[in-house]
Amino acid sequence: GMLKPFLEKVKSYDEVVNCYRITGNENIVMEVVLKNQKHLESFIDQLIVYGETKTQIVLSHVVKYGAIKPPSK
């Protein structure tokens, strides 16, 4: 498949802030920073050779955690 070549290529993209390999229906979740919609379209065009993409845009940051705390008893 295209997963291994993708995992190598993704390291070269300046737009990628974080990239996670995950379980479930999707294999990869990436956090990227892009200038505008045209930049997004161009970035997706580069990724599409590796497989189908699914795009979601963050509208706002609701909760930000610092250090992970153990659950209260």
Q: How far apart are CA 31 and CA 55, in angstroms?
A: 10
Q: Which of 36-40, 46-50, 58-62, 63-67 has the lowest mean pLDDT?
A: 63-67
**pLDDT tens for each residue of 4-33:** 999 999 999 999 999 999 999 889 999 999
Q: Is 66's pLDDT higher than 90?
A: no
Which residues form the domain of 50? 1-73
Q: What is the CATH number of the domain that holds 15?
A: 3.30.70.920
Q: Could you give the number of structural domains in the chain?
A: 1
Q: What is the pTM of this model?
A: 0.79
Tell me which amino acid residue 56 is. Q
